[in-house]
A and B are shown apart, each in its own frame.
Chain A
């Protein structure tokens, strides 16, 4: 993290390039705000270039990606490699969660692949719980600015329309 100058408390929340789902991102924003962070929510379908640019510009303390359309294991791996390729973002804590593949049975493989690609934490739907995510957030250097939020339910993978 040598080159990164974190702006205290800014977290970037973002969807991945091909994922149009919004509710998961809205929920994460509210949760992180309640934990005391300032959130910049880039919304759904964020191209890798925009994600990298915004992260370099904002110098966040953490990036949280979320994907529920089944392409997360592909899009997420590509995005995190792009983020890690930036000198500025090499040591930045980056997490991803959601429905990461089309089939539940492939979750373990997807998690491994995403960790190998450069994520610090991967929360696959099914075992992912808000408490786990909060534990991860609070274990970060400096921890969360605010108190824990009572959650304990999986992040919502909500169908916002066509296609998934």
Chain B
């Protein structure tokens, strides 16, 4: 059997130029027939797409038996249980759909991904996503040290696919931590550091993520910074940038959802990102249908294609860049081994994810949305960022976070995008095209 195409090579060939980014859904269904239908519809969509198989949360937490029981009982799963389904079943899901014109990425969120990687390599599935920090801290209670060990081992096993002539691709999820309220400097730093971690463990085809936040201008800075830092840090050219449409509380109206998605597409296109992960109108309520996903892919693809790439990008020396650089340098100075450096950094609070409840996160840093819409630090904890330095207002922890204040910040984007009146041109005639 011919080896599958390198996911990274496909995305770099088709995305990032005048046509805008390759677009990708976040899609996963428990039943093989539905999963196959979802992939087929993604492939058919009127946009340059790549496919997604998102795994269910029982598989993610290492409980394939629970997934099997749910399937047996006819209960619906929130993703595709790739460890539970027989390899032949998954092979049939992919057959005739996934090929050199339509690669697929597997997405999960596990800090204990051994069984998942075993399933992937057995099926010659060569693109996935993760990270020792980003697939651990937000998602549960696996000790960070264990996650670093697991991800090092799995990355090395995945890299072993090259012995079979298959190029494995890994995307860092570090640019999306908790979806919201983390100032972008730290998101950029984590994404770049996880990419370097993967490189140290043998992966040569990489992508770095960044999730749309609350300020278009600050997001442009962040993506420009991410590109500049990766160019300097990663000893390979085979990497690309992937932008995620907003991952926090999503607008509840169709107009608001499309406007926000449109802005994510503009952000990706303007900054030359090669790939964009979309969200749908159903996002605020439930797991979207296949049709809603296709509509979102086509809308985002068209919106991105209509956007010009920014000449020269955002200012290269932005405060976001300075902040990310300070964090990366502080971490890399701790140890030559990125995994060990990351562990020490979290122990000391040099990295600290706002509001993350994981026992290995210092939990002292706090982010908030400033009056100009930019994410800033309300409290820096031990982050190695000078008090009056970049990315901040000199925040000293004077801001007390209340439940109402937190809710206001969490719903800032929803509120902003839901209340703006929908203009006729906003949906470019595509709203509901597939409903």
Interface set of A (CB-CB < 8 Å, partner B): 17-20, 22-23, 25-27, 30-31, 33-34, 41-47, 50, 69-71, 74, 99, 102-104, 149-151, 153, 156-164
With both chains docked as a complex, state the minimum distance between the C-beta of B352 and any C-beta of chain A, in angstroms: 15
CB neighbours (8 Å) of A149 from chain B are 403-404
Residue of A23, A50, A162 contacting most chain B CB atoms (<10 Å): A162
Nearest 7 pairs of A and B residues by beta carbon: A45-B140, A43-B357, A30-B403, A20-B139, A31-B403, A18-B57, A163-B54
**Residues B60 and A20 in contact, CB atoms below 8 Å apart:** yes
**Residues B139 and A44 in contact, CB atoms below 8 Å apart:** yes
Beyond A104-B286, A161-B179, is A74–B247 a contact (Cβ under 8 Å)?
A: no
With both chains docked as a complex, state the minimum distance between the C-beta of B150 and any C-beta of chain A, in angstroms: 15
CB neighbours (8 Å) of B179 from chain A are 23, 158-161
Beyond A44-B357, A156-B249, A158-B249, is A18–B66 a contact (Cβ under 8 Å)?
A: yes
A33 to B283, CA, bound (A): 30
Cβ-based interface call for B55 (8 A): yes
B275-286 interface code vs A (CB 8 A; 1 in, 0 out):
000000001011
Residue of B60, B66, B139, B179 contacting most chain A CB atoms (<10 Å): B139
A20 to B135, CA, bound (A): 10
B76-118 interface code vs A (CB 8 A; 1 in, 0 out):
1011000000000000000000000000000111000000000
A selection of 21 A-B contacts at a CB cut-off of 8 Å is A18-B63, A20-B60, A22-B357, A23-B178, A26-B355, A34-B402, A44-B138, A44-B139, A44-B140, A47-B141, A102-B76, A149-B404, A151-B403, A156-B411, A158-B248, A161-B109, A161-B139, A162-B54, A162-B108, A163-B28, A163-B54
* A46 nearest in chain B by CB position: B141
With both chains docked as a complex, state the minimum distance between the C-beta of A69 and any C-beta of chain B, in angstroms: 6
Q: Which of these, A18, A26, A99, A157, contacts B60 with CB under 8 Å?
A: A18
B31-64 interface code vs A (CB 8 A; 1 in, 0 out):
0000000000000000000000011111011010
With both chains docked as a complex, state the minimum distance between the C-beta of B191 and any C-beta of chain A, in angstroms: 13
A160 to B58, CA, bound (A): 17
**Residues A162 and B129 in contact, CB atoms below 8 Å apart:** yes
Q: Which of these, A45, A158, A162, contacts B61 with CB under 8 Å?
A: A45
Beyond A45-B141, A50-B141, is A22–B356 a contact (Cβ under 8 Å)?
A: yes
**Residues A163 and B402 in contact, CB atoms below 8 Å apart:** no
Residue of B57, B60, B66, B250 contacting most chain A CB atoms (<10 Å): B57
Beyond A69-B57, A162-B109, A163-B28, is A153–B78 a contact (Cβ under 8 Å)?
A: no
CB neighbours (8 Å) of B359 from chain A are 43
Cβ-based interface call for B410 (8 A): yes
Cβ-based interface call for B406 (8 A): yes
A71 to B410, CA, bound (A): 23
Q: Which of these, A27, A45, A158, contacts B403 with CB under 8 Å?
A: A27
**Residues B404 and A151 in contact, CB atoms below 8 Å apart:** yes
Interface set of B (CB-CB < 8 Å, partner A): 26, 28, 54-58, 60-61, 63, 66, 70, 75-76, 78-79, 107-109, 129, 134, 138-141, 173, 176, 178-180, 247-250, 283, 285-287, 355-359, 401-404, 406-407, 410-411
CB neighbours (8 Å) of A20 from chain B are 57, 60, 109, 138-140
A70 to B404, CA, bound (A): 25
**Residues A160 and B138 in contact, CB atoms below 8 Å apart:** yes
A163 to B140, CA, bound (A): 13
**Residues A23 and B286 in contact, CB atoms below 8 Å apart:** no
A94 to B2, CA, bound (A): 56
CB neighbours (8 Å) of B356 from chain A are 22
Main secondary structure of the interface of A (DSSP, over half): loop
Q: Which of these, B54, B404, B410, contacts A158 with CB under 8 Å?
A: B410
With both chains docked as a complex, state the minimum distance between the C-beta of B354 and any C-beta of chain A, in angstroms: 10
Beyond A22-B355, A104-B285, is A43–B141 a contact (Cβ under 8 Å)?
A: yes
CB neighbours (8 Å) of A25 from chain B are 357
With both chains docked as a complex, state the minimum distance between the C-beta of B231 and any C-beta of chain A, in angstroms: 26
Other than the given A23-B248, A164-B78, 19 more pairs (CB < 8 A) read A20-B109, A22-B138, A23-B180, A31-B403, A33-B403, A42-B357, A45-B61, A47-B141, A70-B76, A70-B78, A71-B78, A102-B287, A104-B285, A156-B407, A158-B179, A160-B247, A163-B107, A163-B108, A164-B287
**Residues B54 and A102 in contact, CB atoms below 8 Å apart:** no
Beyond A44-B140, A99-B286, is A163–B355 a contact (Cβ under 8 Å)?
A: no
A156 to B412, CA, bound (A): 12
With both chains docked as a complex, state the minimum distance between the C-beta of A113 and any C-beta of chain B, in angstroms: 12
**Residues A159 and B283 in contact, CB atoms below 8 Å apart:** yes
* A35 nearest in chain B by CB position: B403
With both chains docked as a complex, state the minimum distance between the C-beta of A70 and any C-beta of chain B, in angstroms: 5
**Residues A74 and B75 in contact, CB atoms below 8 Å apart:** yes
A160 to B109, CA, bound (A): 10
**Residues A161 and B173 in contact, CB atoms below 8 Å apart:** yes
CB neighbours (8 Å) of A159 from chain B are 179, 247-250, 283
**Residues A23 and B410 in contact, CB atoms below 8 Å apart:** yes
A18 to B69, CA, bound (A): 14
* B405 nearest in chain A by CB position: A30
**Residues B78 and A161 in contact, CB atoms below 8 Å apart:** no
A17 to B248, CA, bound (A): 22
CB neighbours (8 Å) of B61 from chain A are 17-18, 45
Beyond A18-B58, A43-B357, A156-B410, is A162–B26 a contact (Cβ under 8 Å)?
A: yes
**Residues B56 and A163 in contact, CB atoms below 8 Å apart:** yes
A34 to B405, CA, bound (A): 12
**Residues A26 and B357 in contact, CB atoms below 8 Å apart:** yes
**Residues B403 and A163 in contact, CB atoms below 8 Å apart:** no
